Amino acid sequence: MPSAPAPLRDLAAPPGLWTRRAWLGGALAVASGGALAQPVKPASVSASTATRVPVLAYHRFGPTVADSMTVRTRTLAEHLHVIQDLGCTVIPLADLVAWRLGQLPSLPPRPVVVTVDDGHRSVIEAMAPMLRDPRWPVTLFIYPSAISNARYAMRWEDLRELQDTGHCTIESHTYWHPHLVRERRQRTPEDFDRFARHQLSRAKTVLQERMGRPVTHLAWPFGMSDAGLQALAAQTGHAAAFGLGNRPASLTDPVFDLPRYLMVDALGGRQMARLLQQAHSEETRS
């Protein structure tokens, strides 16, 4: 297993960085509204509507840029330092969804979500050692057909090891990662419906059985979906789905096509700082 850049093993919380427990406690206090469990006050709702959440979508990691989807570990280290230096709070994807669905009234200041698609083995070999801190929750969108099967992919025991860290959540990326929008064009409506339904349901079932927990979030392969697919995601028991779009998620984004930023190696530390500052500054302008 390659060793991680040293400084990241000791990511210390900068002053003022909220711990998950601290802000969740605050959020729950607001949600419960005291003993009478009153509805959330309009003031906190209006503050929340201005929130913008950059969701980062990584794929593979390595010492060199092997392909367009590989981010070097040194670039990832820069990203993590920027996230920390700007006083951002990495929140679980589930909290973003709960907030979008109105189940969580507010998020901590400068929220960021970290996701990694596809289940490449560099996730456990290169990324996981750099993200050991439980304050850095990560969501992995996995297509189960590759796990313990494709040479480039992780094994089920790797996913369980990551899940057991307590800050790594496994979610769905369909069963075998088809380009669903293209498949729709190439199949009859009935055949496509059967195919897409199987991709969504089978992935969810297999992941739930293997990981022993509910799987309700989905990332569209290639970031591509349409209104019919988004409806199907709801019908097959998903609470939210993510695409791409290179903009922060807000309360006005479609629940089944929430945007994420595609992370590539060309996006260095400086560009990441600009990206996050821009995303969060929309928050204050709104």
**What phi-psi label fits residue 102: left (phi over 0), alpha (psi between -120 and 50 degrees) or beta?**
left
Tell me how far the alpha carbon of residue 3 is from its chain's centroid: 24
Using CB positions, name the residue nearest to Zn ion: 117
Minimum Å gap between C-beta 283 and Zn ion is 28
Of the pair 82, 116, the CB lying nearest Zn ion is at 116
Minimum Å gap between C-beta 211 and Zn ion is 18
Minimum Å gap between C-beta 2 and Zn ion is 23
Of the pair 44, 148, the CB lying nearest Zn ion is at 148
- Asked whether the beta carbons of 162 and 168 are under 8 A apart, the reply is yes
For residue 241, which of 281, 286, 195, 196 has the smallest C-alpha distance?
A: 196
Minimum Å gap between C-beta 220 and Zn ion is 9
What residues make contact with Zn ion under the rule CB under 5 A? 117-118
Q: Rounded to the nearest 10 degrees, what angle do helices 227-235 and 189-211 cross at?
A: 40
Of the pair 117, 283, the CB lying nearest Zn ion is at 117
Q: What is the dihedral of CA 13, 14, 16, 17, to 10 degrees?
A: -40
Of the pair 10, 67, the CB lying nearest Zn ion is at 67
Minimum Å gap between C-beta 118 and Zn ion is 4
Of the pair 105, 119, the CB lying nearest Zn ion is at 119
Q: Which residues contact 212 (CB under 8 A, 6 or more apart)?
A: none
- CA dist 159 and 97 (Å) reads 22
